[in-house]
Amino acid sequence: MAANMTVSNSPLWRGVRWLVWGGAALLLLLPLVAMQFTSEVNWTLSDFVVMGVLLAMVGGAFELAVRVARSNTYVVAFGIAVATAFLTIWINLAVGIIGGEDNRANLMFVGVLAIALIGAVLARLEPLRMARAAEVTAAVQVLVGVAALFIAPDQPEGVILSGILAAAWYASACLFRIAARDQQAMVTRPAG
């Protein structure tokens, strides 16, 4: 694959595109179906709108990744970052990470996402810079976990989940570094 080509025409990613958008639609339909069988699930129109917007953002981020990526590794790294951000928002909106969803301490997780987004913008989606942005995000996520330990010492879920999210951010960073190395190797490789 030439250094200036993206993966957007790859049959693999065209197939995954169906899975991403189909999975998003399924996730949005699940609560609607569940509401028909149990009173435990009680979504309002605003719940569906918020989740629809979140899922559209995930799908849009996937489309962006496929269009700018020059390797499969980059798409996977981007996908892990987006999935981590999505899970952070979803869990925070549904039940909260520290205490309940109304606990103001959960705003720290929004700060982590802001750092990730600002980092991606400053990185201009370049793989090595994206790796650095993901590493900074992972470090901040760890700090949020430490803060959660002091804010709610009797609720270890915030610390545990912060650790899992930090590991996901770090995995994304590692994959972005591999994508950067592979991209550099393609650029410096002498023509055949």
Cβ atoms of residues 137 and 42 within 8 Å: no
Alpha-carbon distance of 56 to 65, in angstroms, equals 14
1 in a structural domain = no
Read off the tokens for 151: 């804010």
The model carries a pTM of 0.89
Per-residue pLDDT tens digits for 119-142? 999 999 999 999 999 999 999 999
User: Same domain for 60 and 82?
Assistant: no
Per-residue pLDDT tens digits for 69-99? 989 999 999 999 999 999 999 999 888 888 8
Q: 22 lies in which domain range?
A: 10-68
User: Same domain for 117 and 149?
Assistant: yes
To 5 degrees, how large is the angle CA 135–CA 62–CA 8? 110
148 in a structural domain = yes
Q: Look at residue 1 and tell me whether its pLDDT is greater than 80.
A: no
